[in-house]
Amino acid sequence: MPSSFSLPEFVLAVVVLASAVYAGSVLLSYLLPVLQEVGQNVAHELRNPFLINGATASARRRRRNLQSEIDQELGRSGLWHDPEADLVRAAHHAQTITALDHKLREGVRACFNLHWRLVVALQPESMAPVATYPLVQAARLRVVDVAEMLGDEIAEYPLLSKAPELIGLGFAARRLAGCCLTCPYFSTSVRDAPRPCPSLAAVSAGERKDGIKDAEIID
């Protein structure tokens, strides 16, 4: 029975097929990185709203926990607002501000001490493993939360225009929160790490002057 293809036609078909496969593989090698990047970007865009919502919900939850903690210590079951009595509201805010200020100072010291206890335990050359340790991260976030809550509480103080020292304290507390978020221990060696850290230096200086010393928070 005669063959459907002659030998030259068969060889030509094989060559054409091999060329097509080779060209396809070359094209795929160029397109694959592009497709991977596009896929990663699409996945990031789809995931980003959930990450933002999760972070916001987490921050709100930590804030509620802090508020409950303060209310419990002051013998209150929740926030109390009396728009017709500025003096009463001011007394309420003053209690909360005092409690938060105390917690902020305690939290900064605890965070600093935790860093250096872990340095002793881990013996690292860089501070990065210590600064990113879960317990340290939690301590840092608590300081940030307390500092931001203190700033918010001061901003709501009804007699703030008559208390310039509170205006300075609120501003300093917010700057301290930013300082902790960009903690120098993230990117320094143990040998060059500042002791005390900028936040502790600010709090310590402020205690000698009845408030957080703003000039030493960042510099």
Q: What is the pLDDT of residues 59-94, one digit of tens each?
A: 877 887 787 777 766 656 544 444 455 677 778 888
Q: What is the pLDDT of residue 43?
A: 59
Taking CA atoms, 183 is separated from 54, 128, 187, 213, in Å, by 23, 10, 8, 18
Instruction: Between 102 and 12, name the one with better pLDDT.
Output: 102
Task: Specify the amino acid at residue 138.
Answer: A
Q: Got the DSSP string for 168-193?
A: HHHHHHHHHHHHHHT-GGGG-BTTT-
Percent of the chain with pLDDT over 90: 42
Distance between CA atoms of 148 and 45, rounded to whole angstroms? 29
The DSSP letter of residue 75 is T
Q: In DSSP terms, which residues pair with 126 in a beta bridge?
A: 189
- Give the residue with greater pLDDT, 60 vs 183: 183
**Angle at which helices 198-208 and 86-122 cross, to 10°:** 130
Checking if the pLDDT of 107 tops 50, the result is yes
Q: What is the DSSP string of 108-159?
A: HHHHHHHHHHHHHHH--SBSHHHHTSHHHHHHHHHHHHHHHHHHHHHHT-TT
**Does pLDDT of 57 surpass 70?**
yes
- Determine if the pTM surpasses 0.85: no
Q: Could you tell me which residue, 110 or 5, shows the higher pLDDT? A: 110
Residues 6 or more apart whose Cβ sits within 8 Å of residue 75: none
Instruction: List beta partners, residue 189.
Output: 126
State whether residue 38 is helix, strand or coil.
helix
Nearest CA-CA partner of 184 in 193, 176, 175: 193
**Which pLDDT value is given to residue 121?**
95
Q: Tokens 């063959």 label which residue?
A: 3
Q: For the segment 122-173, what is each residue's pLDDT rounded down to a tens digit?
A: 999 999 999 999 999 999 999 999 999 999 999 888 888 888 889 889 999 9
More confident residue, 74 or 103: 103
